[in-house]
Chains A and B, each alone.
Chain A
Amino acid sequence: MKLDAVVRCLEARVLSGAQQLDREAVGAYAADLLSDVLNRTVPHAVLLTGLTNPQVIRTAEIMDLAAVVIVRNKRVSPELIALAQDRGLVLLATHRSLYESCGLLYMAGLPPVPSETLDGGLHGGDAEA
């Protein structure tokens, strides 16, 4: 699903990365625990979260996420938006709840992120390059 479809589906505001909405998202993951994001997401996934601290953007950068969606109309600081812009990250905000956002995207066809194995095992690999 392209990111502009995500924006329409969630009636989201685009806080950063408006020029990159033609990018494709491979799936979505929802978490308020960044440790889980660092364990579970794959490149080019969308992260849905209620967190608004700078570590969200850092984590998205490290994990090569396609976009971060901040849910339930949380206040997003100008510093966070500036950091996202600096890192070239798509940052979206929606009035919808986390549960509702996940449900809408799932119904629209955006799948859960595929599993990825990053341990010494020889399977898995990047979802998409």
Chain B
Amino acid sequence: METRKPDQTAPDGPARLELEFAVEGRDFAAAGNAASRIKRALEHVGFAARAVRRASITAYEAEMNIVIHARRGVIRACITPEAVTITADDEGPGIPDIELAMQEGYSTAPEDIREMGFGAGMGLPNMRKCSDRFSIESRVGQGTAVRAVIRNERRGTEGRGLDR
């Protein structure tokens, strides 16, 4: 499910593209659809390759977290020429100890998830690693909200090559 509000140009603000996707818990067949659409949108608007990559990974990890752990959730991407903001809000069990959950290798994922190749306790740390700004809030028994900002890096930060 997708909502698209293209090119909302506010009188005092830059052009922005907003994408929104409903994600169902345990729906492994559809898991990855939202991240895939966000990736293609970023490519379409000409984001730098490395920023597309970091944002796509962040969105995919967030989407998998909802599918694995929550009842349902919403993934949003707000794209401007400068950055993409990815938010993931879910209704689910919440995270009792966020500091622990942010540690690589800590996971509460069940065995069937591990057999699929996930649940190694690397999702949240990977999202933080790929983001320029990352925040997470959670209420036990209610849900979790993740927000990640990835800058569209075009200003000579790539070490080699500009504007590829």
Contact surface of A with B, Cβ cutoff 8 Å: 31-39, 43, 49, 51, 53-56, 58-59, 61-64, 87, 118-120, 122-126, 129
The 6 residue pairs across chains A and B that have the minimum distance between CB atoms: A58-B32, A34-B117, A35-B122, A35-B120, A125-B158, A119-B129
Name which of A32, A63, A119 has the most chain B CB atoms within 10 A of its CB.
A119
Considering only CB atoms and an 8 Å cut-off, how many residues of chain B contact the other chain?
Answer: 35
Interface contact tally, CB-CB below 8 A: 95
Whether B138 is near chain A, meaning CB under 8 Å from some CB there, is no
Known: A125-B158, A126-B49. A39 touches B122 (CB 8 A): yes
**Are B54 and A118 in contact, CB atoms less than 8 angstroms apart?**
yes
Stretch at the interface among B14-22, B56-64, B85-93, B139-147: B56-64
Known: A35-B123, A53-B28. A118 touches B53 (CB 8 A): yes
**Are A62 and B117 in contact, CB atoms less than 8 angstroms apart?**
no
Whether B159 is near chain A, meaning CB under 8 Å from some CB there, is yes
Contact surface of B with A, Cβ cutoff 8 Å: 28-29, 31-32, 35-36, 39, 49-50, 53-54, 56-57, 60-61, 64, 116-123, 126, 129-132, 157-161, 164
A71 to chain B, nearest CB (A): 14
CA distance A123 to B159 in the complex (A): 6
